[in-house]
Amino acid sequence: MLEIDKKARAKYERTVNIAYYTSSKFAKDVALNGALSSVTTTVTNIFFTTQKMLGKMIRGKCGGI
């Protein structure tokens, strides 16, 4: 019974994979996820860099007083 299920599932998954991975929807999903990842990384880097610079500026000004 398990062997029959495994063969049927493999055939079905092959059909679904071919239909999905060759569709334009997959290309759009990949492009959107890549762009989102890039923007998120950029914003995070800007935030942490600015935070670090502000800390140094504040310490520099307070230290001179």
Domain containing residue 7: 2-63
Mind giving me the DSSP string for 34-60? HHHHHHHHHHHHHHHHHHHHHHHHHHH
The CA-CA-CA angle for residues 58, 63, 64, to 5°, reads 105
Containing H/E element for 8?
A: helix 2-21
User: Do 26 and 20 contact (CB within 8 A), yes or no?
Assistant: yes
Work out the average pLDDT over 28-49: 94
Q: What is the number of structural domains in the chain?
A: 1
pLDDT digit string, tens, across residues 10-36: 989 999 999 988 999 899 999 999 999
